[in-house]
Structure 1
Amino acid sequence: MACAFLLALPAAAFAGPHQELGKAEGRCRTSETGPALMVSVLGLKDRTGNLKLEVYPANDNDFLQDDRILVAQGKTFRRVELPVASAGTPVLCVRLPAPGRYAVSLLHDRDANHKFNLSGDGIGFAGNPRLAWSKPKAAASSVVAGTGLTQVPIVINYRRGLLSFAPLERRNARR
């Protein structure tokens, strides 16, 4: 049985042949000054695979929408994908089109196959909402970006039991 919020997410949020969409627009420049998000990745299970950061409009209709649809409609979509750093706190930088509110998701694709593996991969969102039976609301998964660099900590959640996801720290604290 799978966690219902993951079933509610479109497959395009995790996989697809169009993995390059949004990457050129999202790529930070050397000495980036903004507007951009500097996302610190916290609570990794291990140092394998890739991290995939995606930025969406901060409304429920567009949040986690298929990237091809967003791009075709001229809406904001940015993606940054990097291998997990071997040490330290991974930080991903993503450029934004303008200051404002954006919804943000982060996937720890542990086997680097560009597909979400329910039993092994991790997921997190800006605002670090508690994950429940449905995908989080855009408002709970968003951040307000200023004109410069906006620091955003995201805690990764991994499968916990059959039906829920939680950060590793919370899971270990209950043992």
Structure 2
Amino acid sequence: MKSVILTVVLVAATGIAAAPATAQIIGTDAAACAPGGGPAILANLTGLKDRKGSLKLELYPAAEDDFLKDDYELVAQGKVFRRVRAGTPASGSVSVCIRVPHPGRYALLATHDRDGKNKFNFFSDGAGFPSNKKLGMSRPKLAEAVIDVGSGVTTTTIRMQYLRGVLSGFGPTKDG
């Protein structure tokens, strides 16, 4: 009996065999989310409608005038903008990493480009923000996208949302 208790205590203390398998971190910034990395955001994307196309994270300044602004304008003005793309994995958990220039407050957008055309298709593509608030039919508000990032890796879970009907707007899938 003592050996069983000792084994349980050792497993709990070391995390061996007790920890769930970690998801593969994808995206061109994956190395920034490795242990000891950062500053970066690790976005765990849930509720994907399917495994088609690609995924994208976009980082914006946390300012109303800059939120969802065209990237070329932000870059021309010397403001923060970063984009990371990754193919949608065929199965398993989905964790996408995006590095940030320094600790601070940012706005983060995740999209699921299902048709692969690299242009958001309102009728088929998905979107999500750190707040996970139901998007509906209105333009997302900055407050829904804001995330505070420290000097290490900040983890967030984003529930993807897709058009559920013309009257109900964007919302999570049934199992998302």
TM-score range, shorter chain: 0.7 to 0.9
Corresponding residue of 1:27: 29
For 1:127 and 1:35, the matched residues in 2 are separated by: 20
Q: 2:120 aligns with which of 110, 113, 116?
A: 116
Amino acid at match of 1:71: V
1:107 is paired with a residue of what secondary structure? Answer: strand
Retained in 2: the 8 A contact 1:50–1:83? yes
Matched ranges for 1:127-146 at <5 A: 127-146=131-150
Q: 1:46 aligns with which of 50, 71, 75?
A: 50
Residue 129 of structure 1: CA displacement? Answer: 2.3
SS in 2 for 1:29: helix
After superposition, give the CA deviation of every residue in 1:106-153 in whole Å (9 maximum; x if it has no partner).
110001110111211111112112213422221221111111000011
Match of 2:172 among 164, 167, 170: 167
Asked whether the 8 Å contact 1:100–1:144 carries over to 2, the reply is: yes
Alignment correspondent of 2:61: 57
- The within-5 A match list for 1:94-109 is 94-109=98-113
Distance (Å, rounded) in 2 between the aligned partners of 1:36 and 1:83 = 20
Instruction: Give structure 2 stretches of 5+ with no counterpart.
Output: 1-27
For 1:139 and 1:97, the matched residues in 2 are separated by 21
Identity of aligned residues (%): 46
My pick for the range that moved more, 120-129 or 45-54, is: 120-129
* Aligned counterparts of 2:163 and 2:42: Cα–Cα separation in 1: 26
Residue of structure 2 equivalent to 1:157 = 161
Give the stretch that moved more between structures: 48-57 or 112-121. 112-121
TM-score by length of 2: 0.78
Hey, what's the Cα distance between the residues in 2 that align with 1:57 and 1:127? 16
What is the match of residue 23 of structure 1? none
The AA in structure 1 aligned to 2:117 is: N
Taking the TM superposition and a 5 Å limit, the aligned residue runs for 1:47-86 are 47-86=51-90
User: In the alignment, residue 84 of structure 1 is paired with which amino acid?
Assistant: T
Tell me how far apart the structure 2 counterparts of residues 48 and 156 of structure 1 sit (CA, whole Å): 14
Higher RCO, Cα 8 Å, sep 6+: 1
Q: Shift of the alpha carbon at 1:47?
A: 0.5
Q: How many positions carry a matched residue from both structures?
A: 146
The root-mean-square deviation of aligned C-alpha atoms, in Å, is 1.8
Structure ID, larger Rg: 2
